[in-house]
Structure 1
């Protein structure tokens, strides 16, 4: 049924023009807010721990609380977006982030710090799901991977900006200003998102014909009443599926793959380098200011340029599966090599950590980083895309919480060398996981993928 809809075929085969690039950037700009918060907390916590008298346990909890909130936001995002729509959910996220970034900067004790970061995380979690879903639902099939990669690009741009803001303010130790500045892009993003059209595929599922027509006009597409009637038939077809179908035996492997992919992306240790890079360098003997500068240069730049390689050279050419496998091979080598090198003298350890971090970040950003956000909305059908993507993102944030909360404890109990060894072994296992289980989505329409991965199997069940 789905492949017969002329409107969807027109969307899939339409030109990737400036309008689509702008909307992809707007959809992915929640990633900038996430990236800014992710990067700035590593610098801010060095100074906030003195003001708020944070123990190592509270440092871990303060950093990780945003991921706990994000997990709650992610698992709620499908329900929220089904009620508000994709557009207004994205506006809501940016407004919540803005408000609680200000409140976080005004924290007077550790409790307020943790609670406001948790609510801030809720907005980030919702946006991390609905941003990619929104982009996927209008993107042409041959450039969908490139447009979806704007989510990861915005994350790393946010991280890059945050590191240099952190470095500039590290001389004064003004952690409140570091955090509060995040409210400025938040309100700007919310304002621009009012001009976005609703997702055309969401409008189809909810039978919102006026919003569908408005969205299609924005994309330069004109349809007749016959096409609209077919849309109504598709709505009737899709409405028979519910969230329970995500756990039906016939399609359970896809849901389990999504969960496993999310956990592997986090348990490879990426957010240790993002949240705690300054802490790691300080642990190796750098001064707080030098640690912040080094973290900004290595992690900021190391995250940024590989995303362009993934976006314009890899993801729509070699496909999602090979990108992920190559990514995990490189990360495993970098982590295992780094585990051995940092166990040497402190001077060699400092230099080797720089090299290992750059290699690791390169391979993360050409595969594991962007491709998970690409594949998240692709492997679920439109009727279940919000709910299915929310499950995947929920486990991304749970994994992030576990890693960010346990790292300070592991660092001071077993040392950085053994921490890298653990993440390296997990990355090596990820090679096998993605090689054998990843469904290839490159060059296929969302409806083709829905039929291949879901509808044909559910009909037989």
Structure 2
């Protein structure tokens, strides 16, 4: 018992500290949901400038994801998260003190750089610190922290909106709170080690063994170090991973799958609810204060569903979980579209819409989001991880950016019902993509996954048999 207690305890500390980056990710993306109605009145926002304020963070996140991946390869995962904590703090203060729309958009862009960097670096760090058998649950704890950050934002928005909504600048208080977790993240990351896989990539094998010895038993640490070293030595052909390596078929296949997973997660329309949930409920018939309170249900179900998702990842495969989640979200959106039209003007409509957004988020956060962030963190080999995750999450945030920018205009242009019909069509396309292209990755180490991709999905023994049959 004593042999495993210390490694487990230290690994738990690493998980808690590093996932504060996920908490910041969630709070900073969720806080705009409640701040936007008050900001709209004070800064005189239109549907276009509403979209710009919400989506400027997302565009920044797209850029941050690309550079975050490359910088984490260069500086190390731990040091990169330290830099991101500083950026989170400075940008949060910029948003809080913004005197006009221009400064707000610029500050939100820089906040997005931090969010994007965290969305790449934290899952990669967790995946590289985790034992293969526990990787699914550990990496998806970052997703739990993301939705917890969003719930925290929704709760604080509701409290501040209902008690201080009559005070000018209440939205500034909502935005300022994000500076506190950034301080805790910075202090905490000073006390945790660097990723052993990154250390091996820099020929710092002794340090890597020291880190592994703190989070594994002695025998596991030595065995895992040898596996990492052997895998790294076999990757000399992609040592300087970049766009030129896309010419290699197995790398191109990984990138196609990674980008596809990222796009699939966003075209469900989840972030239209996470960013504009208050506006959706107001459009359905709630008052601003009632919408803020009702929106807490979206945050609560997101957290509870993520617990279920973490549990499910240990029980069933990634493919069936993702397909089931997409089926649930698509049906929920279809019902929202139908009832938004059929019950227009009815006092029951806001409650129907709220119950359906809760159902939608149960499927999204209980299946789609955990699988997305886990697979993005695990399918890329070490030498491709920074570039691959950076490009993949860049595409995720770009799609997210367009959803955030266009949603207010779609809402005012084609209405609630028409907007959700568009997402239904996209959901059907997402199900078809996953069913055709997504491989199963459950139960394989990062190194075994790489070998399967190199062998075009065949197991090593199948590949050998194929070679021998060709020779014969």
TM above 0.5, yes or no, is yes
Taking structure 2 as the reference length, the TM-score comes to 0.89
1:231 and 1:450 map into 2 onto residues whose CA distance is 12
Question: Is the contact between residue 246 and residue 252 of structure 2 (CA under 8 Å) also seen in structure 1?
Answer: yes
Question: Is the contact between residue 29 and residue 189 of structure 1 (CA under 8 Å) also seen in structure 2?
Answer: yes
* Partner of residue 8, structure 1: none
Structure 1 residues 266, 228: CA separation in 2 closer, same or farther (over 3 Å shift)?
closer
1:230 and 1:149 map into 2 onto residues whose CA distance is 24
Q: CA deviation at 1:225?
A: 9.4
1:358 and 1:247 map into 2 onto residues whose CA distance is 43
Q: Paired residue for 1:185, among 175, 181, 187?
A: 181
Q: Paired residue for 1:211, among 207, 212, 225?
A: 207
1:62 and 1:247 map into 2 onto residues whose CA distance is 38
SS at match of 2:132: coil
Structure 1 residues 230, 295: CA separation in 2 closer, same or farther (over 3 Å shift)?
closer
SS at match of 2:80: helix
2:30 and 2:227 map into 1 onto residues whose CA distance is 47
Structure 1 residues 226, 262: CA separation in 2 closer, same or farther (over 3 Å shift)?
closer
Taking structure 1 as the reference length, the TM-score comes to 0.92
Q: Paired residue for 2:317, among 306, 316, 319?
A: 319
1:414 and 1:176 map into 2 onto residues whose CA distance is 32
2:289 and 2:388 map into 1 onto residues whose CA distance is 43
* Partner of residue 302, structure 1: 301
* Partner of residue 43, structure 2: 52
RMSD: 2.4
Deviates most, 343-352 or 14-23: 14-23
* Partner of residue 160, structure 1: 151
Structure 1 residues 319, 103: CA separation in 2 closer, same or farther (over 3 Å shift)?
same
* Partner of residue 466, structure 2: none
Say whether residues 1:147 and 2:144 are aligned partners: no
Structure 1 residues 78, 239: CA separation in 2 closer, same or farther (over 3 Å shift)?
farther
Structure 1 residues 393, 15: CA separation in 2 closer, same or farther (over 3 Å shift)?
farther
Aligned length, in residue pairs: 446
Question: Is the contact between residue 14 and residue 140 of structure 1 (CA under 8 Å) also seen in structure 2?
Answer: no
Question: Is the contact between residue 6 and residue 215 of structure 2 (CA under 8 Å) also seen in structure 1?
Answer: no
* Partner of residue 329, structure 1: 327
* Partner of residue 190, structure 2: 194
* Partner of residue 125, structure 2: 134
1:403 and 1:104 map into 2 onto residues whose CA distance is 21
SS at match of 1:289: helix
Listed as ranges, the gaps of 5+ residues in structure 2 are 464-472
Q: CA deviation at 1:14?
A: 11
Listed as ranges, the gaps of 5+ residues in structure 1 are 1-12
2:227 and 2:100 map into 1 onto residues whose CA distance is 57
Say whether residues 1:175 and 2:167 are aligned partners: no
1:15 and 1:141 map into 2 onto residues whose CA distance is 18
* Partner of residue 403, structure 2: 403
* Partner of residue 342, structure 1: 340
Question: Is the contact between residue 143 and residue 369 of structure 2 (CA under 8 Å) also seen in structure 1?
Answer: yes
Q: CA deviation at 1:293?
A: 0.9
* Partner of residue 467, structure 2: none
